[in-house]
Amino acid sequence: MIDGELFDNLEFLSSTIRNSHCKGDKKLLWGGIQLIVSGDFFQLPPINAHNPRNEFAFESSCWEATFDIQMELTHVYRKSDSELIDFLEGIRWGQVDRDNRNFRRFLHGTASINGAIDDNQTETRLFPRTDDVRRVNQEHLRSLGKEVERFNAVDKGSMSWLKQLKYQIAPDELEICEGARVMLNKNTDQAIRLVNGVTGVITGFKAGSLLSSENNVSGVVPIVRFDSGLEVPLEVEKWDIIEGNEVKTWALSQGMTLDRLSTDLTRAFGSGMVYVALSRVTTIQGFRVAEFSPEKIK
């Protein structure tokens, strides 16, 4: 997330470079560059070790002067329960009445209402740290007792672009086996609902294209039966969208719509993390909260 300090610095550089070529004393904001920006600038705060304030981009000194028109999209498409929407909006702003009946029902009651946290392997489990995700994924993979297929990313392109890949969701190495639950990490074919966040199970492997041998010694590709009932092989050019065992970090779950998830909210360590975790699902029946500490909402 771009912080306010970086936003101001970008404006300063743009103005300095572009205005140096202008005649007269009139200096244009951003050097005359017209900006169109979009996104949820309030979902998670920026992380900047050099700026302890960690101000949002819209708190920068040049934000208001930069945009003559600012539009807020208020319609929620992911969920239709108005009570749940209001509850999550309160969490988003850190303004929740902890004595409110709905607060207790939505959080303290979900573990008992919806069942034990580990009794349903079809749930997506969210963790705040990547190390936890890797550990749980490996434990689950070993518990299946199946032969593991290993796929290695073959990345090609300029070095500057390749360096950016380490910040992406797709891993450099993917280990999966028959029975492993997986998740798509980007939209592939919206016509048949192969979209970001849908989940399924590896049902087997089949011989892939000639390119498959670059990624996998066996030259195979995984076959996935999604929860919708659709069963398809994922060819080599689509491997970057698959994530093993359906365990995610909270930050990497941003933008996803999940049918079911479980999480332990006591491990949240940053502002906005509780909101990001809970807002992925469409109904209260869709999430299970193992533990929760009200102090994590801020």
Q: HEC states along 225-280?
A: EECCCCEEECCHHHHHHEEECCEEECHHHCCCCECCEEECHHHCCCCCHHHHHHCC
pLDDT at 236: 59
Rounded mean pLDDT, 38-56: 73
**pLDDT band at residue 64 under the 50/70/90 scheme:** very high
Per the model's pLDDT, the better-predicted residue between 267 and 210 turns out to be: 267
Residue 240 pLDDT > 60: no
Residue 13 pLDDT > 90: yes
Torsion (CA) 48, 50, 54, 55 in degrees, nearest 10 = -110
Which helix (H) or strand (E) is 2 found in, with range? none
Tokens of 165: 């890949």
CA–CA gap between residue 52 and residue 32 (Å, rounded)? 31
Domain boundaries, the chain: 4-66
pLDDT at 101: 59
**pLDDT band at residue 117 under the 50/70/90 scheme:** very low
- Of 248, 260, 246, 296, give the one whose Cα is nearest residue 275: 296
CA–CA gap between residue 197 and residue 192 (Å, rounded)? 14
Rounded mean pLDDT, 74-93: 82
Q: Tell me the Cα Rg of the chain.
A: 22
CA–CA gap between residue 98 and residue 107 (Å, rounded)? 10
Rounded mean pLDDT, 34-57: 77
- Of 181, 175, 178, 182, give the one whose Cα is nearest residue 146: 178
pLDDT in tens, 220-230: 889 999 988 99
CA–CA gap between residue 283 and residue 261 (Å, rounded)? 11
pLDDT at 115: 46
pLDDT at 123: 72
Chain centre to alpha carbon of residue 192: 22
Beta bridge partners of residue 176, listed in sequence order: 149
pLDDT at 12: 93
CA–CA gap between residue 131 and residue 137 (Å, rounded)? 10
- Range name among 59-63, 87-91, 143-147, 241-245 with the lowest pLDDT average: 241-245
CA–CA gap between residue 242 and residue 254 (Å, rounded)? 16
Q: Which residue has the tokens 């999604």?
A: 226
Give the DSSP per-residue string, 12-52: HHHHHHHHTT--SS---GGGG------S-TTSS----TT-T
Q: What's the whole-number average pLDDT of the chain?
A: 76
pLDDT in tens, 228-239: 899 998 875 544
Per the model's pLDDT, the better-predicted residue between 103 and 94 turns out to be: 94
Per the model's pLDDT, the better-predicted residue between 105 and 201 turns out to be: 201
**pLDDT band at residue 62 under the 50/70/90 scheme:** very high
Does residue 271 contact residue 45 with C-beta atoms inside 8 Å?
A: yes
CA–CA gap between residue 122 and residue 201 (Å, rounded)? 9
- Of 40, 67, 73, 78, give the one whose Cα is nearest residue 56: 40
- Of 200, 246, 241, 245, give the one whose Cα is nearest residue 223: 200
